[in-house]
Amino acid sequence: MDIDIDKINQEISEIEIKLKDSNFFRTKEYPLIAKKQVELLKLLELLKKAENIKSQIKSSEKILSDKENIDLHDLAQQELISLNQELENTTQEIHNIMIPSDPNDIKNVICEIRPAAGGNESSIFTGELFKMYSRWAENHNYKVEILSENINEIGGFKEIIFAINGDSVYGRLKYEAGVHRVQRIPSTESQGRIHTSTVTVAILPEAEEKDVEINPNDLRIDVYRSSGHGGQSVNTTDSAVRITHIPSGIVVSNQDEKSQIKNKIKALNILRSRLLAIQIEESQKKLSVERIALIGTGDRSEKIRTYNFPQDRITDHRINYTRSNIVQFLNGSIDDMLDKLHDADIKLSANEKK
């Protein structure tokens, strides 16, 4: 592995100079640079560890070649096996850290969850997935903000859009996009039959203005009176906003705030993030078939996971990972699944670089 340590040290020095400037912390470049510093320092640490292991391997090999110390051969052989395994693991860590990370991974997330097939049961499960991601966010001290919600008469959701703000949230949740299937007996089912319903989840990196340039001339903005359940008006002013992006045909509506300005800001934020997601989808077409299947294409027909309640089983179909305890999972304990998906992505990415 040909790695220029002097070049790494030079890059770290340049970053340290930037970080000494107090004004730099206010720039949009800061999170990326800070993350890069952590990665480079970790890389140096791993390189030193690898060199130390190689030195120990040479010492063990020297003992094995010494015919006068035969009584130490068994111990040296055992150490050699252990050291070679440790070197292999460390080398893999070095490979992983050198894989260019997705610059969008550090971004906040906008999550859109909608019922698909299954009627009321699908709308109820939409709410359960929202609670699952919210509780996961709370466990990590991330902030959840509802941007738009449409609740039906039974307390389920026709749609819910929310933001999760925190350190590298998109890098953790981006694998959640796709169709989530639930199999269980609904509370309204008198015959005890198992129903299958589906819910679509979209995970968008929250876009900043610098990420996506929107021409005001490409927008059609309509305002109207917001309405509640059953269509009744809940506001006497035209505070609700509908924005149509004419080139893409994307339509975003928001009526959650009493202020038209606040609704417009939220709608533009969602629109910007959807446009960024389209750009990302285009760039992902260059990836391998396996990585596209893992990360997703945004296709609403992509079934990524099944929640089987009668068998207390959750299966992610992309990596064939199955676990139990659905109740715990829906309470936000999903990090084992996210870790497995991230590790699978790292391995596939490493294979692409070979």
What confidence tier does 257 reach under pLDDT thresholds 50, 70, 90? confident
Is the pLDDT at 196 greater than 50, yes or no? yes
Q: How many CB atoms lie within 10 A of CB 220?
A: 11
What confidence tier does 74 reach under pLDDT thresholds 50, 70, 90? confident
Is the pLDDT at 353 greater than 60, yes or no? no
b/e per residue, 141-170, with b = 16+ CB within 10 A?
ebebeebbbbebeeebbebbbbbbeeebbb
For position 230, what pLDDT does the model report?
43
For position 231, what pLDDT does the model report?
45
**Do 42 and 180 belong to one domain?**
no
Q: Read off the pLDDT of each residue in 191-195 and give the average, rounded to a whole number.
A: 80
For position 227, what pLDDT does the model report?
64
**Paired tokens of 214:** 């929107």
For position 3, what pLDDT does the model report?
79
**Do 66 and 122 belong to one domain?**
no
Q: Cα(first)–Cα(last) distance of the chain, in Å?
A: 12
pLDDT in tens, 111-136: 999 998 888 889 999 999 999 999 99
Give the CATH number for residue 331: 3.30.70.1660
pLDDT in tens, 279-296: 877 766 666 555 556 655
For position 262, what pLDDT does the model report?
84
**Do 201 and 275 belong to one domain?**
no
3-class DSSP assignment, residue 3: coil
Higher pLDDT, 164 or 298: 164
Pick the last residue of a domain from 74, 98, 122.
98
**Do 138 and 72 belong to one domain?**
no
- Cβ atoms of 308 and 183 within 8 Å: the answer is yes
**Do 182 and 240 belong to one domain?**
no
pLDDT in tens, 133-151: 999 999 999 999 998 888 8
HSE-up (13 A, CA, CB side) for residue 60: 17
**Do 306 and 340 belong to one domain?**
yes
**Do 197 and 305 belong to one domain?**
yes
Pick the last residue of a domain from 63, 79, 98.
98
Q: Read off the pLDDT of each residue in 253-279 and give the average, rounded to a whole number.
A: 84
Residue type at 96?
N
Give the CATH number for residue 220: 3.30.160.20
**Do 195 and 231 belong to one domain?**
no
**Do 62 and 163 belong to one domain?**
no
**Paired tokens of 257:** 């705030």
Is the pLDDT at 110 greater than 50, yes or no? yes
- Cβ atoms of 309 and 284 within 8 Å: the answer is no
Pick the last residue of a domain from 244, 264, 281.
281
pLDDT in tens, 141-190: 999 999 888 888 887 888 899 999 988 899 899 999 999 999 998 876 66
Mean pLDDT, the chain, rounded, equals 84
Q: Where are the beta strands (DSSP E) in 185-286?
A: 195-205, 219-224, 240-245, 250-254
pLDDT in tens, 208-244: 777 788 888 888 888 887 665 444 445 556 778 888 9
H helix runs in the chain, sequence order: 5-19, 30-65, 73-98, 120-139, 169-173, 260-283, 289-295, 326-330, 335-353
**Do 128 and 79 belong to one domain?**
no
Is the pLDDT at 76 greater than 80, yes or no? yes
Nearest to 176 by CA among 198, 193, 192, 200: 200
**Do 141 and 229 belong to one domain?**
no
**Do 165 and 298 belong to one domain?**
yes
Is the pLDDT at 354 greater than 60, yes or no? no
For position 296, what pLDDT does the model report?
54
3-class DSSP assignment, residue 136: helix
Helix axes 73-98, 30-65, angle to 10 degrees: 160
Q: Read off the pLDDT of each residue in 86-112 and give the average, rounded to a whole number.
A: 83
Where in the sequence is the domain holding 172, given as residue range(s)?
103-207+289-353
Is the pLDDT at 327 greater than 90, yes or no? yes
Is the pLDDT at 17 greater than 80, yes or no? yes
Number of compact structural domains in the chain? 3
Residue type at 255?
Q
Q: Which residues contact 233 (CB under 8 A, 6 or more apart)?
A: 225, 226, 227
